[in-house]
């Protein structure tokens, strides 16, 4: 069974541009979580989607947004990129019954 | 904010048991204890979770005190590949909460 997959693995953008990161959850999982991990720092919760709706949001500005598609895959968009947005962006999925969440290997975004 | 307290770092000799403590003195009755680990620059890996009974799987054992205010993750025979940051998280298991990660414990397994 395939795990959580994220694409691309690496992304380089210029300050002010937009970045789009993608996540495919484990088959049967309806919840997708997004986290940001800046270099040397901890995981910061960004967004949680379930059944196509945003269920919870972390303390991030509105230029961080996303959506979840009918097949439960998800997209994270970061607008007006700033240098401090450079980080590893992690996606996790879980099923509707709760329990453990499983993480992908992340997208490393570098803003130059 | 994370609801758990862990030591920032620990060392363990290869082949010995690694015992990682976690304090969660404000845990609620319906909150589970989860453990994850993150090997350098990879996505966190789920290890184990439990409510009040001790749990064991192929990776580790989880010992939760009777008052549930603390727990210990045990890696029975640590290897060099177990070197990672270990996170202890408390969370209501059923649908509805995201995982809040604290700084974790950096475990170094030494040859």
CB-CB neighbours of A8 under 10 Å = 13
Residue B44 to residue A103, Cβ atoms within 8 A: yes
Q: What are B66-94's pLDDT values in tens digits?
A: 999 999 999 999 999 999 999 999 987 66
A100 has a chain B CB within 8 A of its CB: yes
Structural element, H or E, at residue B89: strand B84-92
Contacts of A48 in chain B (CB under 8 A): 98
Minimal CA separation from A104 to chain B, in Å: 6
Cα(A92)–Cα(B43) distance, rounded to whole angstroms? 9
pLDDT tier at A105 (50, 70, 90 boundaries)?
Answer: very high
B13-40 pLDDT, tens per residue?
999 999 999 999 999 888 899 999 999 8
- Least confident stretch, A8-17, A43-52, A93-102, B38-47: A93-102
- HSE of A4, CA atoms in CB hemisphere, 13 A: 31
Question: Are the CB atoms for A112 and A13 separated by under 8 Å?
Answer: yes
| B100 → closest Cβ in A45, A55, A106 | A45
Return d(Cα A59, Cα B84) in angstroms, integer.
Answer: 27
**Which chain A residue's Cα is nearest to B44?**
A103
Q: Which of A14-28, A57-71, B23-37, B73-87 has the lowest mean pLDDT?
A: B23-37
Chain position carrying tokens 């890996």? B45
């Amino acid at each position: 069974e395939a795990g959580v997959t994220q694409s691309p693995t690496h992304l380089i953008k210029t300050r002010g541009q937009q970045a789009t990161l993608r996540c495919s959850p484990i088959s049967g999982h309806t919840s997708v979580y997004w986290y940001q991990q800046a270099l040397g720092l901890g995981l910061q919760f960004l967004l949680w989607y379930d059944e196509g709706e945003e269920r919870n949001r972390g303390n991030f500005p509105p230029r961080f947004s996303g959506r979840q598609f009918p097949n439960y895959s998800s997209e994270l968009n970061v607008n007006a990129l700033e240098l401090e947005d450079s980080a590893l962006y992690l996606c996790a999925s879980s099923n509707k019954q709760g329990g453990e969440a499983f993480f992908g290997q992340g997208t490393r975004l570098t803003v130059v | 904010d994370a609801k758990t307290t862990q030591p920032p770092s620990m060392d363990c000799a290869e082949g010995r048991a690694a015992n990682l403590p976690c304090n969660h003195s404000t845990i609620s009755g319906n909150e589970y204890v989860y453990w994850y680990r993150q090997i350098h620059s990879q996505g966190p890996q789920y290890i184990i979770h439990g409510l009040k009974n001790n749990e064991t799987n192929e990776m580790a054992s989880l010992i939760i005190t009777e008052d549930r205010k603390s727990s210990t993750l045990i890696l029975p025979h640590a290897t060099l590949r177990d070197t990672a940051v270990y996170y202890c998280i408390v969370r209501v298991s059923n649908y509805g909460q995201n995982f809040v990660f604290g700084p974790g414990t950096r475990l170094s397994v030494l040859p």
